[in-house]
Amino acid sequence: MSDYGHDLVFGSFVTPSADSPDRAVGVAVLAEQVGLDLVTFQDHPYQPAFLDTWTLLSFVAARTNRVHLAANVTNLPLRPPAVLARSVASLDLLSGGRISLGLGAGAFWDAIEAMGGRRLTPGQGVRALEEAIEVVRQLWDVETRGGVRVDGEFYRVVGAKRGPAPAHAVPIWLGAYKPRMLQLTGRRADGWLPTLGYLQPGDLTRGNAIIDDAAQQAGRSPQDVRRLLNIAGEFSTVGRGPLNGPAEQWAEELAELALEEGVGTFILGSDDPDDLRRFAGEVAPAVRELVAAERDRGAAPERTPELEPEPVAAPPARASRATATGGALAVVPTPDDGVRRSEQQVWDESSRPTGPAPDPERTYTPQEQATGAHLVQIHDGLRAELAQIHDLIEQVAAGEIDAGAARSHINTMTMRQNRWTLGVYCESYCRIVTTHHTIEDQSFFPRLRARDPRLGPVVDRLEQEHHVIHDVLEGVDRALVAYVGSPDGLAELRAAVDLLTDALLSHLSYEERELVEPLARLGIA
């Protein structure tokens, strides 16, 4: 048994497809919205069907606030380590400390050579990677006096100035399979990142043993090396094989990998929005619960949270409200504070129907509560965007940006991309794949009605309010357009945003109040 006691991290492995760049970015944004900790992209600079990974990582960093980002893994033969070190440090500073560095020795050598890279043997690749790690770490080390000095067989950096230092201690993860790479991982790296599909039975155990032995010989603890794993599978109603079955099966299998093989980070390779939602909302909390229970029964190693991605912008109050735990309903709907900015009213709030009262004796499993927690998390993202809109309008008023720039920024936001006629809950991820719009419209709300007809009036009202919010958003856009032509229209612009604030915050609170408990009670995912 090799439980290294690491806190569990869950992430996504997104395809950086160049033929649908908006989709790649949208899936990454969705990963943050549903509560995943990490987003990664493969790095194949010789592949014209893919976006450049580091350009994409920079773009996604600007579109997200909390989620950590990494290449999975960086193609070192086409990324000079001195330049790579400064790229990583720069993006880490710009993103508020959210970058990790995955590194690989190289593969697909014909393609690498065709792009101008040097073909290396496996042994050379390992030696080159170790030299690169030294270059990177020296460039980040701004406390040591003097320039960088690595006079290696493959990389020679003599006298380069150090810096900038990244915003946090950027971990270096190696994609390793063979003994020499595994030994290097134990000696020098912060994480081991293989892909489950490339491993044979017993490879994780054997790999851990090699890494642990190398770490100890280098004077390190085996716990210093986080164990990450790229995984893939299929969600289905019945079990058909490993990682092919219901969420409960996934949770049991991943918990076993955590407890028996020491895996602390699971990265799901999927671009399917529903897969990511289920992975974040159903699998992740269940795995955490199973692992915590087992650790409580035994003498688990001391945890090492320093390797854990730390949320940068997630408000603690929001996180606690959206946490799903077993027992009484722990997902707390966001209350409506009753504050209204506008004298105009877009609907009569007193006429809103209510659903059936919850059973005070009813208890809920973490899996049942996960969907309601997901709903609150998505709404919190929309509330954060609303605050951004207010900030943009103030920047326009102060002359820091023009109205056209503000309008362009707002048009990229989730709430502006929403059609709203389909609902906030589904739209936050269905906007990524437009074909899902109709699917959700025909399934999510109808399922609520079908499972509990008493919710029919509530669902009808929510759909009506979605149409109204769409119109209010159009009003903000019209006010921005008018302001471009008439700077005297600032009062009208502020009034439109105030009306949006009243409508959106009121609606989100109403939707949470009426749906959080039914989603758990009815088991709707």
Q: Would you place residue 161 in the very low, low, confident or very high pLDDT band (cuts 50, 70, 90)?
A: very high
With a CB cutoff of 8 Å and minimum separation 6, the contacts of 84 are 74, 76, 101, 132, 136
With a CB cutoff of 8 Å and minimum separation 6, the contacts of 350 are none
Q: How many CB atoms lie within 10 A of CB 339?
A: 9
How many angstroms separate the first and last alpha carbons of the chain? Answer: 34
Residue 145 to residues 138, 141, 159, 379: CA-CA distances in angstroms?
11, 9, 11, 49
With a CB cutoff of 8 Å and minimum separation 6, the contacts of 435 are none
Predicted TM-score (pTM) of the model is: 0.63
76 vs 107: CA distance, rounded Å: 10
Candidates 417, 332, 315, 503; CA nearest to 426 is 417
Share of the chain above pLDDT 90, in %: 61
Q: Would you place residue 387 in the very low, low, confident or very high pLDDT band (cuts 50, 70, 90)?
A: confident
Write out pLDDT tens, residues 464-507.
Answer: 998 898 888 888 888 877 876 676 778 888 899 899 999 999 99
464 vs 150: CA distance, rounded Å: 66
240 vs 43: CA distance, rounded Å: 32
Residue 119 to residues 100, 102, 105, 114, 340: CA-CA distances in angstroms?
26, 20, 11, 10, 65
Residue 48 to residues 43, 113, 127: CA-CA distances in angstroms?
11, 15, 29
Write out pLDDT tens, residues 68-117.
Answer: 999 999 999 999 999 999 999 999 999 999 999 999 999 899 999 999 99
Domains within the chain, CATH numbers bracketed = 9-306 (3.20.20.30), 325-334+350-522 (1.20.120)
Amino acid 433: pLDDT: 26
- Top pLDDT among 189 and 422 is at 189
Q: Would you place residue 407 in the very low, low, confident or very high pLDDT band (cuts 50, 70, 90)?
A: confident
Amino acid 418: pLDDT: 54
Angle of helix 366-397 relative to helix 490-522, nearest 10 degrees? Answer: 180
Residue 232 to residues 196, 242, 478: CA-CA distances in angstroms?
8, 10, 45
Answer whether 17's CB lies under 8 Å from 50's CB.
Answer: yes
Residue 150 DSSP label: E
* Token pair of 476 as six digits: 């903000």
Name the CA dihedral angle for 40, 41, 45, 48, rounded to a multiple of 10 degrees: -170
Q: Would you place residue 385 in the very low, low, confident or very high pLDDT band (cuts 50, 70, 90)?
A: confident
Beta bridge partners of 245: 235
367 vs 107: CA distance, rounded Å: 40
**Percent helix, percent strand, percent coil in the chain, to nearest 5:** 55, 10, 35
Candidates 157, 173, 20; CA nearest to 82 is 157
Answer whether 299's CB lies under 8 Å from 264's CB.
Answer: no
Write out pLDDT tens, residues 198-254.
Answer: 999 999 999 999 999 999 999 999 999 999 999 999 999 888 899 999 999 999 999
Amino acid 321: pLDDT: 41
Please state the rounded mean pLDDT for residues 176-200. Answer: 97
* Token pair of 230 as six digits: 């790229």
Write out pLDDT tens, residues 426-461.
Answer: 333 333 322 322 333 455 678 888 889 999 999 999
Please state the rounded mean pLDDT for residues 168-176. Answer: 97
Amino acid 415: pLDDT: 66
b/e for 52-65, b at 16 or more Cβ within 10 A? ebbebbbebbeebb
Answer whether 67's CB lies under 8 Å from 37's CB.
Answer: yes
Q: Would you place residue 319 in the very low, low, confident or very high pLDDT band (cuts 50, 70, 90)?
A: very low
Residue 480 to residues 80, 493, 497: CA-CA distances in angstroms?
45, 6, 10
Greatest pairwise CA separation for the chain in angstroms: 76
User: β-strands 148-151, 156-160: how paired?
Assistant: antiparallel
Amino acid 54: pLDDT: 96
* Token pair of 293 as six digits: 């229970």
Write out pLDDT tens, residues 252-267.
Answer: 999 999 999 999 999 9
Q: Would you place residue 123 in the very low, low, confident or very high pLDDT band (cuts 50, 70, 90)?
A: very high
Share of the chain above pLDDT 70, in %: 87
